[in-house]
Amino acid sequence: MNRRTATAAGLTGRYLLLAAMTVVSLGPFAWQLLTSLKGAQEPIYGADATWLPHHPTLANYAAVADTLPVWRYITNSLIVACASVLTNCLFGAMAGYALARMRFRGRGVVFAAVTAALIVPFEVIMVSVFLTVRDIGLVDNLLGVLLPGAVSGLSILVMRTGFLALPKETEEAAVMDGAGEWARFRRIALPSVRGSLAVVAVFSFLFAWDDFLWPLIVLKSPDNYTLTIGLQYLSGTFTNDQRVVAAGTMIAVLPLIIIFLGLQRLFFRGVGEGGVKG
Amino acid sequence: MLGRRWYTPWLFLAPALAVAVTVLWAPLANTTVLAFTDARALGGGAFNGLDNFTRISADTGFWHALGNTALYMAVVVPLLIVLPLLLAVLVARKVPGVAAFRAVFYTPVVASMVVVGLIFSWVLRSDGLVNQVLTALHVITEPLPFLTDSSLLLISCMAVTVWKGLGYYMVIYLAALANVPGDVLEAATVDGAAPVRRFWSITVPLVRPTMVLVGTLSAISAAKVFAEIYIMSDGSAGPGGQAKSLVFYIREVGLGVDGEIGYASALSLVLFAGTIVFSLLSLWLRRRNEGSAA
């Protein structure tokens, strides 16, 4: 009896805490979303500001597009993020496959180098990376934004782990078929590690889409800005209207939140496999 | 045995190796060399021995940035070890709806630091939501300058780092808690151990290796803090640039119009020396954890 009431009380307490933490986690986003929907005449700060917009409007979203080429920034971010997904998945898988499934002289050294790459923070080498990218002629170019993150050590390690888990027999059957190494990789090995590919894809996309420091360094002209740099530019230079800034941030974050809610499982798996990311 | 040519593996590795050499290993070697030169963006490049490091030791800008960064780590790391663990314990039990709560708590991780920084700049302005609520509750009589006082700015940035990191480390803890045998906790419950006691005497000892891992990961991350400070201060690092972090300072020194590349490289090596201890520790811990899980 006593225990049952104690459990019920415990459960209620647990849900109260969960609800409180939900407010902490989502409250700031909600406040920003509500601000972005408020009309120009509505007070958004001071004692008169209300939680809910009196006259909900999408005008601020139109205003973002008027003040800066937001579609262009979104396109730029999408180009970099999608290219990063492609290079990380393809090159990461190729390298991971070689490390997991082939025996060759120098494999230990390559594997050690891939692992060691994880302990070199980008911030430590950013000045030299900038010099390199300048020498190649990719400053103020989306390719220059892509390059440092094109194949991360983490992508290679996740793919290697995926390939290691495959049973040897799958490929041996193909060897009898007389299929070449590339055909075996593409037709047999790659389709069997879809889960790892998805993890690499999701995290490459997220990393490229959210990155700030490197695009800030390498991009010079506003036309080439990615969305994160464009947003910072928007709030600093173009407007003091917080409704418009709020609308801009919502444009940047809502699609990600929706993708995340759809693919939660992959995100959580990725953290488990890639906990090294600092 | 497969009739494979010796270079086949290298063809598979070639793209990844090309990228790694171009944007990681060569720049790292370059940084190490440049740290001993007087190279600037517009010329220079003669070796000057340890001059850069002598200069670092007397550079108040550096010591200030280092102090800010160390303070950042000292505050953020303990909070990121403890709070996500409590959060993980809260969502570890499979009560109805718990998966949705896990997703909710992870949402700030998905958002970019720019978005989060802009949201909090808005909430923490002198006439922003936090000041209004605190005033309404009579906690304060005048708005606090969360963004315009350099100490408060740093504290605000720390709060943002912690808020954004909660969900990430929660997931790492959840993986560890999944390995805590349920019957151990069950037995303790039957024993009548109070939740707090159960947490201290059972959960904490079992996840201690994970706590160390989370500590090293959050320390590496905090040592590199940049975006929070840049965005919340609109690129200024507070009045007089008093809230600069080490990375903020390196970027400013090395990537200006006539960036002092040699000196910035020396500063970068100092940052590297600071993070490498934590990096090696985390690699070692992960290997050990994997070993025990297998």
CA distance A245 to chain B (A): 8
Same domain assignment for residues A77 and A45: no
Q: Tell me what the mean pLDDT of segment A192-203 comes to.
A: 91
* Position A272 confidence tier, pLDDT thresholds 50, 70, 90: low
Phi, psi (rounded to 5 degrees) for B43? 120, -170
Report pLDDT digits (tens) over A239-257: 678 888 899 999 989 988 8
Which secondary structure element, helix H or strand E, spans residue A168, and what is its range? Answer: helix A168-177
Q: Encoding tokens for residue B30?
A: 């370059």
Same domain assignment for residues A74 and A51: no
Domain range list for chain B = 54-293
Contacts of A114 in chain B (CB under 8 A): 20
Let me know: does A198 contact A90? Beta carbons within 8 Å: no
Report pLDDT digits (tens) over B100-136: 999 999 999 999 999 999 999 989 988 888 888 898 8
pLDDT of residue A126: 96
B68: contact with A, CB 8 A cutoff = no
Q: How far is CA B166 from the centre of its chain?
A: 12
- Chain B from 13 to 32: CB within 8 A of any A CB: 13, 15-17, 19-20, 22-28, 30-31
pLDDT of residue B125: 87
Same domain assignment for residues A117 and A152: yes
Assign B19 to helix, strand or coil. Answer: helix
CA distances from B125 to A229, B122, B149, B265 (A): 21, 6, 11, 36
State the average pLDDT for chain B: 89
Q: Tell me what the mean pLDDT of segment A47-70 comes to.
A: 82
CA A148, CA A130: separation in Å to the nearest integer? 10
Q: Tell me what the mean pLDDT of segment B183-187 comes to.
A: 67
Q: What is the dihedral of CA B217, B218, B220, B224, to 10 degrees?
A: 140
Phi, psi (rounded to 5 degrees) for B40? -125, 170
* Position A164 confidence tier, pLDDT thresholds 50, 70, 90: very high
| Whether pLDDT at B294 is above 50 | no
Check residues B169 and A234 and name the one with the higher pLDDT: B169
Split into its structural domains, chain A has a count of: 2
CA B287, CA B294: separation in Å to the nearest integer? 11
Contacts of A127 in chain B (CB under 8 A): 31, 34, 250, 254-255, 259, 261, 264-265, 268
Report pLDDT digits (tens) over A166-192: 887 766 766 666 678 888 899 889 998
Check residues B54 and B6 and name the one with the higher pLDDT: B54
Q: Encoding tokens for residue B10?
A: 């290298």
State the average pLDDT for chain A: 87
In a domain, A229, yes or no: yes
Q: Encoding tokens for residue B135?
A: 């005033």
Check residues B40 and A54 and name the one with the higher pLDDT: B40
Enclosing domain of residue A222: 69-273
8 Å CB contact of A28 and B259: no
Amino acid at B63: W
pLDDT of residue A277: 40
CA distance A119 to chain B (A): 5
* Position B36 confidence tier, pLDDT thresholds 50, 70, 90: very high
CA distance A228 to chain B (A): 6
Q: Which residues pair with B37 in a beta bridge?
A: B47
| Whether pLDDT at B38 is above 90 | yes
Percent of chain B beyond pLDDT 70? 93
Report pLDDT digits (tens) over B21-31: 999 999 999 99
pLDDT of residue B1: 42
Q: Tell me what the mean pLDDT of segment B256-282 comes to.
A: 91
Percent of chain A beyond pLDDT 70? 89
Q: Tell me what the mean pLDDT of segment A207-233 comes to.
A: 93
Same domain assignment for residues A46 and A73: no
pLDDT of residue B286: 74
pLDDT of residue A174: 66
Contacts of B264 in chain A (CB under 8 A): 127
Nearest to A63 by CA among A212, A228, A250, A255: A250
- Chain B from 237 to 276: CB within 8 A of any A CB: 247, 250-251, 254-255, 259, 261, 264-265, 268-269, 271-272, 275-276
* Position A19 confidence tier, pLDDT thresholds 50, 70, 90: very high
| Whether pLDDT at B243 is above 60 | yes
Check residues B203 and B194 and name the one with the higher pLDDT: B203
Same domain assignment for residues A119 and A192: yes
CA B285, CA B219: separation in Å to the nearest integer? 14
Same domain assignment for residues A13 and A83: no
What ipTM was reported for this prediction? 0.89
Report pLDDT digits (tens) over B147-182: 989 999 999 999 999 999 999 999 999 988 887 776
Same domain assignment for residues A34 and A115: no
Assign B43 to helix, strand or coil. Answer: strand
B285: contact with A, CB 8 A cutoff = no
CA A278, CA B282: separation in Å to the nearest integer? 10
CA A189, CA A164: separation in Å to the nearest integer? 10
CA distance B273 to chain A (A): 10
Report pLDDT digits (tens) over A69-126: 888 999 999 999 999 999 999 999 999 999 999 999 999 999 999 989 988 999 999 9
* Position B51 confidence tier, pLDDT thresholds 50, 70, 90: very high
* Position B186 confidence tier, pLDDT thresholds 50, 70, 90: low
Same domain assignment for residues A87 and A49: no
Phi, psi (rounded to 5 degrees) for A176? -60, -35
Let me know: does B124 contact B130? Beta carbons within 8 Å: yes
Q: Return the CATH class of domain B54-293.
A: mainly alpha
Q: Tell me what the mean pLDDT of segment B254-261 comes to.
A: 87
Q: Tell me what the mean pLDDT of segment B191-196 comes to.
A: 72
Same domain assignment for residues A38 and A108: no
Phi, psi (rounded to 5 degrees) for B235? 85, 0
Let me know: does A138 contact A147? Beta carbons within 8 Å: yes
pLDDT of residue A110: 96
In a domain, A235, yes or no: yes
Check residues A52 and B4 and name the one with the higher pLDDT: A52
pLDDT of residue A273: 58
| Whether pLDDT at B293 is above 60 | no
Q: Encoding tokens for residue B97?
A: 């709806």
CB-nearest to B227 from A132, A212, A277 is A212
Nearest to A275 by CA among B93, B203, B215, B205: B215
Amino acid at B70: A
